[in-house]
Amino acid sequence: MFPHGMIVGAVLSGWLISMCVNSVAESLASSKSGEANLRSFAARGVVRELKADGRTILLSHETITNYMDAMTMPFRVKEPKELTDLRPGDQVSFRLSVSNTESWIDQVASFLTGSAEKRRRTCSFV
Given a contact cutoff of 8 angstroms between Cβ atoms, the answer to whether 45 and 91 are in contact is yes
Query: Which residues make Cβ contacts (< 8 Å) with residue 99, sequence separation at least 6?
Result: 34, 35, 37, 38, 39
**What pLDDT shows up at residue 38?**
96
**What pLDDT shows up at residue 8?**
53
**What pLDDT shows up at residue 112?**
77
- 13-46: per-residue pLDDT in tens? 554 455 544 544 455 554 555 566 999 999 999 9
Whole-model pTM over 0.75: no
**What pLDDT shows up at residue 126?**
35
Burial 8-38 (b: 16+ CB within 10 A, else e): eeeeeeeeeeeeeeeeeeeeeeeeeeeeeee
Low-confidence ranges of the chain (pLDDT < 70): 1-36, 114-126
**What pLDDT shows up at residue 17?**
55
Give the integer Cα–Cα distance in Å for 44 and 37.
23
